A and B are shown apart, each in its own frame.
Chain A
Amino acid sequence: MCGIAGLYLKKPELRSQLGKMFEPMLIEMTDRGPDSAGFAIYGDPVADDRIKVTLASDDENFDWKALDAALEKSLGCDVQTKVLANHAVLDTDAGERDLRNWLGENHPELRIVGSGHTVEIFKQVGLPRDVADQFGLGGMQGSHIIGHTRMATESAVTTAGSHPFATGQDLCLVHNGSLSNHNRLRRQLQREGIEFQTENDTEVAAGYMTWQLRNGLTLREVLTASLADLDGFYTFCVGTADGFAVLRDPIACKHAVLAETDDWVAMATEYRAIAPLPGADTARIWEPAPSKIYAWGDADIRVGQVQ
């Protein structure tokens, strides 16, 4: 059992409120997932020639300043580092491949939590309220956000195993359910060059979607393909740089509810997570149908081949 929640703002003037609106949604899902929590927030994008990479360290005293300096020296690049608890968001003009290689060689203990132009990802073991506090979720701003509260079933209670999962290109995924063909699919995707950091089933779904985006599919097409290729129980909430989508498997036994007003679209495992939002009581509320793709934003844009 897990809880998922997502919030997509339709009005840019609400951007500064995103964290404040979303925090109660995540905390309301504590009963469904007290092990760990995480969220991916789509904030201010970096320039086209730069990337944002979110890193996490198990060492609370990790010297991020030293990392910043070493990176700049070794790769001859510019790095701006924002530290939040044991995570850091690096905004850099280094190539993503070079950066990943350098980190792999020099700091294998660091986890790359996510990367892209827009997304920042924070996740941690602990109660959702504590996780939200650690990262200062309530003060964050952005256009959309997806989050997860986890009760682990398929892999260990670790920060690495917590959601959301991202494997590149601003794509991020939270999942309620369990996949049954993830081992075979992981091997196939590894042959296609997709890298995985855990044994988690959801990471495979994120990897699969990243691979399909790279193949030139739109978010909507990726989700259509997922229906054929991902086997198991799932309700997914997916974010891309400009898109937000929800998909349930054909049996649809994992709960989900959607609500929409003129101001926002919200998705959650249970309505009670949506109830605190302003205007929830008069929102259009419905249960997503099985195998049907619900998408907002630029779900029909081809992100295409990157790198």
Chain B
Amino acid sequence: MNTLNLKDLGVSGVNAALQAVPEDSNELAWTVVEPMGQHAIGCGLDAPLHVEIRGHAGFFCGGMNKRAEIVVKGHAGVGVAENMMSGKVHVTGNASESAGATAHGGLLVIEGDASSRCGISMKGVDIVVGGSVGHMSAFMAQSGHMVVCGDAGEALGDSIYEAVLFVGGEVESLGADCIEKEMRPEHLKKLAELLEQAGIDADPKSFKRYGSARKLYNFDIDNVDAY
């Protein structure tokens, strides 16, 4: 186990050390201590590392992640796992706004609550939130899955494309073109898989599925005169 003290090394020092691990290295387990809420910790990793951040992380933690597994033992600030491509980011506490924004792949797990705009413009990532999400979550979500075990705030899935949303609790309101959809066996199966991967114990049958009504982003020939 290699330990990096962020208070001593700074964010650049920590990230440079993690990014410099050679492809064939056996030194894959790393711990970052005293993160001090600094931004961009563990950004731009592209190796099968296991990075544990002991404490609260600032904005954009684990951004652009490829292949690495990053665990934040604490809360994460704005834009955790922003634009993640693959791998996993796991937050044991809460996450601030725009968690998993624009992420293309991988798995983002937030054991606590996520704030507003969770999964905004998500493009293929799977997001599992143990608690609740704030307003405007999954705004313009394009693909991937978002699982919310608690409640969702106002305007869930506004202007959603083809992302699939599962919510266990109450939805305060649905955004434009987002509707409740039938939970079919394949959805229950996928949801069970995601919950298991996230290590969260919840009954898939207690969830509802939401997705796009496909009236907003598809061209309708009856509207041709409007253009």
Contact = CB atoms under 8 A, between A and B. Distances in A.
Nearest to A255: B78
A274 interface: yes
Contacts of B93: 285
A287 B94 contact: yes
Given A255-B78, A257-B96, A285-B56, A272 B37 contact: yes
A104 interface: no
Interface in B28-78: 36-39, 55-56, 58-59, 74-75, 77-78
Nearest to B59: A270
B96 A272 contact: no
Interface residues of B, number: 20
A287 B115 contact: yes
A278 interface: no
Interface residues of A, number: 17
Given A285-B56, A290-B135, A272 B36 contact: yes
A288 to B, nearest CB: 10
Given A271-B75, A272-B36, A281 B59 contact: no
Contacts of A253: 97, 116
A289 B114 CA distance: 12
Contact of A272 (B39, B97, B135): B39
B94 A286 contact: yes
A271 B97 contact: no
A211 B115 CA distance: 34
A289 B39 CA distance: 22
Nearest to B116: A252
Give the most central of A252, A253, A287: most B CB within 10 Å.
A287
Interface in B108-145: 115-116, 134-135
A239 B39 CA distance: 29
A280 to B, nearest CB: 8
Closest A-B pairs by Cβ, 6 of them: A272-B37, A271-B37, A275-B37, A275-B36, A287-B115, A272-B58
Given A252-B134, A253-B97, 12 more contacts: A253-B116, A270-B77, A271-B56, A271-B58, A271-B77, A273-B37, A275-B37, A281-B55, A281-B56, A281-B74, A285-B75, A285-B93
Interface of A: 252-253, 255, 257, 270-276, 281, 285-287, 289-290
